[in-house]
């Protein structure tokens, strides 16, 4: 497999050189070229033809947002990952970039750039490799136009339970019941994947949806607002003590775990700053564990695109209690990490493409009400 060619666009010569060195030293990546603003980038793309672009947002003459608008107008299909210090101060600008077609974002290091750039080295390399591998394959997901009300009475063949899951026959399982909650764990590739899924969720969706998206502190408020603008249901960032209600979607705040807890009169969401789990806070495993305890077999858990294994353990607890479990498929995942681990452990009933995810959730929940 050929190396993934990366184009850097940043007005800082220091940042261009530092990131250029990271790319040069990384296996599987090669530096295609550099540009100091969006205008120079547009001029160089036809000649250099990179597999992926690493884009600053705050630049003179043509900034990142202006470039993304031109990219969209010119139908340039090269994936773009945002790398900008403005993201720390202006999360909304980053969400605007995602809405204009950027694939993901990485925070520039704080403090002394020359010292702290190495803190995010692994994230830069892993993200570029993930999106770069998807470019040119035709496998980056697109939004599906599914009329759920006309869906067949049984799930399509590709949505049925895998007949030969690796170890599921050895896992004892209780009988499930009606679905009263949907819990989703997602990481790399998540912002745009959630935009696709939630835009097509049923306006009459009868249960609450609670989501852990791995995202830095300071971004989830604007992320929830951006989802709320395109989703037929109300979307909000969790605040401690929120009461679960049907037709509402709750996004875990950056740097806080969330747990659902049943009280006498209602089910509430609690936040905590307990230790990282699987290297994350919020953690999908923490959410899934609380869902298994509070709802057992009356729950539906979804594990989607993301690096690592967060959520892959505790989705098994939901599975064992009789809850329905869904995993995103490899082809439509930007990184087939979290759902792969869960599937290999035999915890996933339905393996689903991103294009079918909303229709699948709509159907499974409504069938179990």
In DSSP notation, 51-64 reads SEEEE-S--SSS-H
The yes-or-no answer on residue 289 being catalytic is no
Catalytic-labelled residue, pool 51, 84, 103, 214: 214
Strands 248-251 and 181-186: unpaired
Strands 267-272 and 242-243: antiparallel
- Residue 2's pLDDT is 86
Q: What is the DSSP secondary-structure string of 228-254?
A: HHH-SSEEEE--TTEEP-TTEEEEPPT
- Residue 91's pLDDT is 87
The yes-or-no answer on residue 240 being catalytic is no
Tokens of 37: 């603003």
- Residues 67, 58: Cα–Cα separation, whole Å: 11
Residue 122 φ then ψ, to 5°: -65, -40
Cα angle, residue 189 at apex, residues 188 and 191 outer, rounded to 5°: 110
Catalytic-labelled residue, pool 10, 202, 285, 310: 310
- Residue 145's pLDDT is 32
- Residues 296, 321: Cα–Cα separation, whole Å: 5
Catalytic-labelled residue, pool 84, 135, 187, 353: 187
The yes-or-no answer on residue 116 being catalytic is no
Q: In the block, which residue shows the tokens 């070229």?
A: 33
Map out the domains of the chain with their CATH numbers.
Answer: 4-134 (3.40.50.2300), 148-367 (3.40.50.180)
Per-residue pLDDT of the chain (369 residues; tens, 9 = 90+): 789 999 999 999 988 998 999 999 999 999 999 999 999 999 999 999 999 999 999 999 999 999 999 999 999 999 999 987 766 567 889 999 999 999 999 887 665 555 556 667 888 999 999 998 876 533 333 333 333 223 333 344 444 444 334 444 467 888 889 999 999 999 999 999 999 999 999 999 999 999 999 998 889 999 999 999 999 999 999 999 999 999 999 999 999 999 999 998 999 999 999 999 999 999 999 999 999 999 999 999 999 999 999 999 999 999 999 999 999 999 999 999 999 999 999 999 999 999 999 999 999 999 887
- Residue 147's pLDDT is 31
Residue 114: how many other CB atoms lie within 10 Å: 12
Please tell me whether residue 154 adopts helix, strand or coil conformation. Answer: coil
């Amino acid at each position: 497999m050929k190396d993934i060619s990366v184009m850097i666009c940043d007005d800082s010569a220091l940042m261009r050189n530092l990131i250029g060195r990271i790319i040069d030293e990384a296996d599987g990546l090669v530096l295609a070229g550099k540009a100091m603003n969006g205008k120079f980038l547009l001029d160089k793309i036809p000649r250099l033809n990179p597999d992926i672009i690493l884009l600053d947002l705050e630049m003179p003459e043509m900034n990142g947002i202006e470039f993304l608008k031109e990219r969209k107008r010119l139908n340039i299909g090269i994936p773009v990952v945002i790398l900008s210090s403005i993201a720390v101060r202006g999360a909304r600008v980053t969400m605007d970039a995602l809405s204009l077609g950027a694939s993901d974002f990485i925070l520039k290091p704080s403090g002394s750039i020359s010292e702290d750039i190495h803190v995010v080295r692994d994230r830069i390399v892993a993200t570029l490799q993930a999106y770069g591998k998807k470019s040119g394959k035709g496998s980056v997901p697109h939004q599906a136009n599914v009329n759920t009300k006309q869906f067949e009475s049984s799930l399509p063949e590709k949505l049925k339970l895998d007949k030969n899951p690796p170890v599921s026959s050895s896992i004892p399982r209780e009988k499930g019941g009606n679905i009263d909650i949907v819990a989703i764990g997602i990481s790399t590739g998540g912002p745009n994947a959630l935009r696709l899924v939630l835009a097509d969720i049923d306006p009459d969706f009868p249960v609450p949806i609670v989501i852990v998206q791995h995202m830095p502190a300071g971004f989830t408020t604007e992320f929830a607002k951006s989802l709320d603008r395109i989703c037929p249901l109300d979307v909000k960032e969790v605040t401690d003590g929120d009461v679960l209600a049907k037709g509402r979607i709750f996004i875990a705040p950056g740097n806080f775990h969330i747990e659902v807890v049943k009280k006498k009169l209602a089910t509430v969401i609690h936040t905590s700053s307990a230790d990282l789990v699987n290297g994350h806070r919020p953690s999908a495993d923490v959410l899934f564990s609380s869902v298994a305890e509070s709802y057992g077999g009356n729950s539906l858990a979804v594990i989607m695109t993301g690096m690592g294994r967060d959520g892959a353990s505790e989705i098994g607890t939901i599975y064992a209690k009789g809850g329905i479990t869904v995993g995103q498929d490899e082809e439509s995942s930007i990184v087939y990490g979290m759902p792969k681990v869960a599937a290999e452990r035999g915890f996933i009933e339905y393996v689903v493409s991103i294009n079918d995810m909303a229709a699948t959730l709509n159907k499974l929940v409504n069938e179990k009400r």
